[in-house]
Amino acid sequence: MSLEKTVKKLSKPARKVLKLKYCGAVIVAAGSASRMGGIDKVMEPVGGVPMVVKAVSAFQECPAVKEIVVVTRQDLLTEIAHLTMEYDKVKAVVVGGEDRAESVNNGLNALSEKVKLAAVHDGARPLVTWELIDRVVRAANTYGGAVPGVPVKDTVKIATGGLVQQTPERKTLYAIQTPQVFDFDLLRGALQKAKLEELPITDDCGAVEALGFKVKLVEGDERNIKITTPLDLKVAAAYMEEA
């Protein structure tokens, strides 16, 4: 089926509860962690286990996810493969590409032919819960694509040249998280098209949106933070202590 036909088919309003499609997850942990002050965040312990393994465990626990592929750096390939051996849903650990989009594509290519829904998650979000994953997968199963988001608390300004140009209405703004879940063919086609057209895509949802597809927004989790700086590690540790 062509990408255009896939978008048209999935854009039709859902009218009934659909049987849950076979879902595979791609966990992307191939970044350089340039803002972590020398800390290799992929392997940094969170809750007593490396960050990426903590994320894998949530997908392992989620009944809606049937298989997992981890994408990482070449130098971590053997170590992460060893650390995830006990998780039977992990089917492969593969090397990432030159950028995130290529890394996601490498992960998608390693999923089995049975996969109809693809969940893409940042390995730097170790506090994701299986309940959140399940919520997003089931929404994507109905709507063709879904992402979790939390309302923005701060007032946001649009500025150029150091001058404020516009203040968007805050109640319309959401901070988008992962996992982001889409029809497999839709996502792969969207990423390929975005690469060919050199679109400035910052997440998988953006690539799908560029096709004109309306993605379902699902309630996210404020604890599902992305570890980007050393301070984020302290915040994650505080959340773990509360749990």
Give pLDDT, residue 79.
Answer: 95
Q: Is 200 in contact with 227 (CB distance < 8 Å)?
A: no
Give pLDDT, residue 17.
Answer: 67
Mean pLDDT by 10 residues, the chain (243 residues): 72 70 96 62 88 97 98 95 97 95 96 98 97 98 97 96 96 97 97 92 94 97 94 91 78
d(CA 180, CA 216) in angstroms, rounded, equals 10
| Residue among 141, 148, 174 nearest 63 (CA) | 141
Give pLDDT, residue 7.
Answer: 72
End-to-end CA distance of the chain: 46
Give pLDDT, residue 201.
Answer: 85
d(CA 240, CA 243) in angstroms, rounded, equals 5
d(CA 148, CA 97) in angstroms, rounded, equals 25
Give pLDDT, residue 41.
Answer: 79
Helix, strand counts (H, E) of the chain: 8, 12
Q: Is 122 in contact with 100 (CB distance < 8 Å)?
A: no
d(CA 22, CA 159) in angstroms, rounded, equals 43
DSSP string, 1-59: --HHHHHHHHTSPP-SPPPPPPEEEEEEE----TTSTT--TTTSEETTEEHHHHHHHHH
Backbone angles phi, psi at 67, to 5 degrees: -150, 160
Three-state secondary-structure class, residue 169: coil
